[in-house]
Amino acid sequence: MEAKGWISGDESAKEMLGRVLSRARPFLLLPPLHRVPLRPRNVLEIVGPSPSAKTHLLIQAALTCVLPVDWNGVHYGGFDGLAIFIDLDCRFDIFRFSHLLKLRLASGSISEIDREQNDNTKKRSSIAYDEELYTLCMRRFSYVRCYDSFEFLATLKTLHYRIQKEKAYGNCVHMLLIDSIGAFHWIDRASTCLPLRGNNRKSHSIQTVLETVVQEIRKLLLLHPMLAIATKATLFGNRAMNEAKCRNLRKPDTSYSQSGGITALQLPYREYMPSAWQTFVTHRILLRPSDDHLAVSDDQNHSVYFSEWLLPSLSFLDKFIVKEAGVFLVA
Amino acid sequence: MAPLKSLEQEYPILDSNFQSFCASHDIFSVEDLLLHDLYVLAAFAEQESSSERLKQGIAQVLSIIDGQHQPWLNGMELLEDAQRNKHVLSTGCEGIDLLLHGGLRVGQLTELVGPSSSGKTQVCLLAASNVAKKHIGSVVYLDTGNSFSPQRVTQFICQHSDPAIDQAKHTTLRKVMNNISCQSVFDIFTMFDVLHQLEFNLRSQIQGGDCKVQLLIVDSVSSMVTPILGGSGSQGHALMISAGYLLKKLAHEHNVAVLVTNHTVGGDGGISKPALGESWKSIPHVRLLLSRDHGGSICCW
């Protein structure tokens, strides 16, 4: 009877878990993003003053995306898909990306690269890597620059068709990376349009532009499950906090590094993105440079950065440095 | 903001019926379409009588929009372009070249920051003379403070040449000096004019002489931007960021190395920091800090 059909169910729990888990596996990215599992359809915002290694994290994420899981017996642990990089900051360095990719290919896993780089005998000589795999990975990295918000909107509107075309070739897009979502903040803020005809005409302001951006990205994520990561530069400091910090300069600055967490009131920057974007973001991590330097070898002095998860709010700081082979955690 | 009407000639499917349909949804130009949800618009078009034609019009507009952004490149194409076009220009000073890993990179914006009389203009003049002499390229020098000195450039050029026949040296000097084009700009609007004209010339490949522009120097960008910053309005910041993006676009699309100078202001706790604030920090690719006392330089970016 029909009522019985209602009760008996469509599939068992085992079948359901098998279906869901095979498609949506949690992403475990490289440190310092490893503390929170990120899945497709998550939107991660990496926020920090300039410079704080934000673009480096994007590059590492892109590398993990384009590398295959296994190749010729070597385990790379990548996601074997396409990465789409929208560069609003226009400062991307392809040589650095290529160098990091070659180092990863030559050594397999990232901990091995660290050991090899510290071994001075192997410094900067020829790096042996698989040419075919290198070309394949470089081809999986899609890049576009945008010089203003209109170009950015045009890119987002036509991205769906591009991804569909790639799918027709059998390539799956796993990541959407946006460098510096706040790049055109000042330009959009200052541009006001007098409505020429019609009272309901949408004017070009930060609100409407970012609402459209959020709408387009949301539609893209619905149609093509992928992880979206955006960096954001802090444009405004928190003046009260900086002044308090200066007054305490003579006392040893223990409070910052030991207690760890920062509450929402003490954020060292002021949020300037409209609420449409703020509610769209599901995860947020804050990076900032510390005053310490770490001497790795005689001629290299790396500055240490702090990273802290703001959303979900975890109450401890990670420390990391940027070396030639990428981002590494400092204990 | 080109209105849709002007596109009718080139794309006859965007006829008056399509335009009035768009007008009923307050869309009058392509930019308005960028701010609207096209799927919703297509759903509205379904309800109209000429829905097929309207949807074809929307598809046509989408292809117009597709031509409005920069082209997509994959990693290999980016790398090939960088290896072919984005070489390094030596500044003429070994110490600075060492810090910059070879010199000024074409396609990037390098910033020199330092207090007054720390040598910024000297580095600019040296780089200009070096590029004009050795790299067979022309230099555009935008001077905001009347600090361009032809005598100093002559000194740099004649420094290393052997004392050959005066006539030959004179001809070389003339040729090299012809490659450096110096313009005085005193406010940001003139600078926008000059840069737009330069962009137009580069795009239509009108050469003043037989050399392509390799280096663009703006000395100093802070003296043009600082008067318009400040106050509660955001126009100053918007102009500064627009100028930065125009310089970056010139650098990347037309394969020019850009060198700008900036001065320092007092910061928190008495430590001097570069002028132009937080927003400007994300514009230059490379930043060199020059200090006066020991002649040392710190590279940070």
CA distances from residue A82 to A95, A173, A231 in whole angstroms, order as listed: 19, 4, 19
Report which DSSP code applies to B102.
Answer: T
A123 against B273, higher pLDDT:
B273
- Counting Cβ atoms within 10 Å, is residue B87 exposed (0-12), middle (13-18) or buried (19+)? middle
Query: Shortest Cα distance from A25 to chain B (angstroms)?
Result: 27
Q: What is the pLDDT along chain B (301 residues), one digit of tens a residue?
A: 577 888 888 888 888 888 888 888 888 888 888 888 888 888 888 888 888 888 888 888 888 888 888 899 988 999 999 998 888 888 888 888 888 888 888 999 999 988 887 888 888 999 998 888 886 688 999 999 888 888 888 888 877 655 555 667 788 888 888 888 999 999 899 999 999 999 998 888 755 445 688 899 998 888 888 888 877 777 888 899 999 999 999 999 999 999 999 988 877 777 778 888 888 888 888 888 887 765 555 444 4
* Cα dihedral B116/B117/B121/B125 (nearest 10): 180
Nearest-by-CA chain B residue for A269: B278
- Residue B22 half-sphere exposure toward CB, CA atoms < 13 A: 28
Q: Which of A52, A94, A140 is the mutation pick for testing B, counting most B CBs within 10 A?
A: A94
- Residue among A157, A187, A198 whose CB faces B238 most closely: A187
**pLDDT of B149:** 86
Share of chain A above pLDDT 70, in %: 74
Residues 175-214 of B with CB under 8 A from A: none
Taking the CB of residue A197, how many other CB atoms lie within 10 A of it? 9
Q: What is the mean pLDDT of residues A90-111?
A: 82
Q: How many residues does chain B have?
A: 301
Please tell me the distance from the alpha carbon of residue B189 to that of residue B172, in angstroms, as a whole number.
Answer: 35
User: Sign of dihedral through CA atoms B191, B224, B239, A279?
Assistant: positive
**Which pair of structure tokens corresponds to residue A293?**
């330097």
Q: Which of B28, B30, B31, B34 is the mutation pick for testing A, counting most A CBs within 10 A?
A: B34
Taking the CB of residue B73, how many other CB atoms lie within 10 A of it? 18
- Across B194-224, b (16+ Cβ under 10 Å) vs e yields bbeebeeebeeeeeeeebebbbbbbbbbbbb
The SS3 assignment for A3 reads helix
**pLDDT of B279:** 85
**pLDDT of A258:** 37
Query: What is the complex's ipTM, to 2 decimals?
Result: 0.88
Report which DSSP code applies to A179.
Answer: E
- Residue among A198, A209, A235 whose CB faces B279 most closely: A235
Q: Which residues of B touch A187 (CB under 8 A)?
A: 238, 241-242
Please tell me the distance from the alpha carbon of residue B2 to that of residue B27, in angstroms, as a whole number.
Answer: 12
Please check the confidence at residue A260 and state whether its pLDDT lies above 70: no
Q: Which residues of A touch B72 (CB under 8 A)?
A: 142-144, 162
Q: Which residues of B touch A184 (CB under 8 A)?
A: 241
User: Sign of dihedral through CA atoms B243, A276, A61, A30?
Assistant: positive
**Which pair of structure tokens corresponds to residue B37?**
């949800």
* Domains defined for chain A, CATH in brackets: 32-329 (3.40.50.300)
